[in-house]
Amino acid sequence: MRCLGEIESQPAITHEQFFDGFFQKRPVIMPGKISHWPALRQWGPDFFKANYGDLPVWLSRYDPASELTYLEQHLEYVSRKTTMAGYVDALSGSHGFFSIRESIGLLQSHPELMEYLDQFRPYGCSGEPPASQYMALWFSPGQDTTGMHIDVAEGLLFHLYGHKRVMLFAPDQTRLVYEDDIRKLYSDGLEDRIDPEDLDMWRNFVRWSKVNPFEPDFERFPLLREASYFEAFIAPGDVLYIPLGWWHAVRSLDTTISISKSIFKDEFLRQ
């Protein structure tokens, strides 16, 4: 594989510059735009343990060293229920590849958390009821990995705590990254053991790769040698835009907290 460099950083980007030069075209990192958010100063493992320690949380598992693909591990649906305090206490030990992955309901069920995010200003959401928005919390231990995939929507990743490495492959690399067979999501019996909303999202809003670009297996996936990628190293206060159609995989370099969210175009970087 060949690295084409790091994703461009644009601290002074405006609404017009974003939609003219990046939207639906290429990724960009926007540092400093959310430096006023209280979450950057207050959120961390201790905050969630102290304020939400009794909250039940579901952990899901992805083992990047497994012979099973990212999609196949989703279909195994290995999960674990604990409390937020129990999860935080386990962060310093062996987590067994479990983490809080894409917790969609947490912000909606605890709207007071939105105040720590200044209601996502200057990226906006005031004209849209919180219950109808896609907003997901990611809270992961060091070395936790999200497998390579495409989200079939324009997306923003707001990074609040710790550090992440993101590998991104442009749409023209699809033939080299071994897209998985979505027909696996229609196998008999899945509806009996997987939440219907999750299954619907996986079928209609995600595309899946078989490869792990962080530890590529060129014997199993020889075409991957020809692939080119960009990478991003994101820190607290960074906002990463990932366009529709871009493959990406994410690794936490230490304990991390991020929020992924859909784009609210009208208020995006408006003054």
Domains of the chain: 2-267 (2.60.120.650)
The region of weakest confidence among 33-42, 65-74, 85-94, 158-167 is 85-94
| pLDDT score of 131 more than 70 | no
Closest CA to 247 of 184, 181, 167: 167
Q: Output the six-digit token pair for 145.
A: 């990995």
SS3 content of the chain, % helix, strand, coil (to 5): 30, 30, 40
Q: What is the pLDDT of residues 35-83, one digit of tens each?
A: 999 999 999 999 999 999 999 999 988 899 899 999 999 888 878 899 9
What are the helix (H) ranges across 12-105? 15-21, 38-42, 45-52, 70-76, 84-90
Residues 57, 268: Cα–Cα separation, whole Å? 31
Amino acid present at 67: E
Amino acid present at 111: P
Contact 13, 238 (CB under 8 A): no
Residues 11, 193: Cα–Cα separation, whole Å? 45
For residue 76, what are the CA distances in angstroms to 70, 90, 122, 193? 10, 23, 39, 10
User: So what's the pLDDT on residue 128?
Assistant: 59
The residues pairing with 263 across neighbouring beta strands, listed in sequence order, are: none
Order of strands, edge to edge, in the sheet holding 56-61?
Answer: 28-31, 238-242, 155-161, 256-262, 135-140, 98-103, 56-61, 79-83
User: So what's the pLDDT on residue 243?
Assistant: 95
Q: Average pLDDT, whole number, for the chain?
A: 91
